[in-house]
A = this chain, B = another copy of it.
Amino acid sequence: MAQRVQNLRRAPTSVPMASALALSGRRWAFRIVWELRVGPLSFRALQAACGTISPSVLQHRLHGLRDRGIVERIPRLGYRLTASGERLFQVLTALDKWSVCLVKDSLQRDK
Contact = CB atoms under 8 A, between A and B. Distances in A.
Interface of A: 3, 6, 9-11, 13-14, 16-22, 24-31, 34-35, 38-39, 41, 45, 49, 68-70, 83-84, 87-88, 90-91, 94-96, 98-103, 105-106, 109
B98 A91 contact: yes
Given A13-B35, A20-B102, 8 more contacts: A6-B38, A6-B39, A17-B96, A18-B31, A20-B96, A20-B98, A25-B25, A87-B98
A17 to B, nearest CB: 5
B25 A28 contact: yes
A45 to B, nearest CB: 6
B106 A69 contact: yes
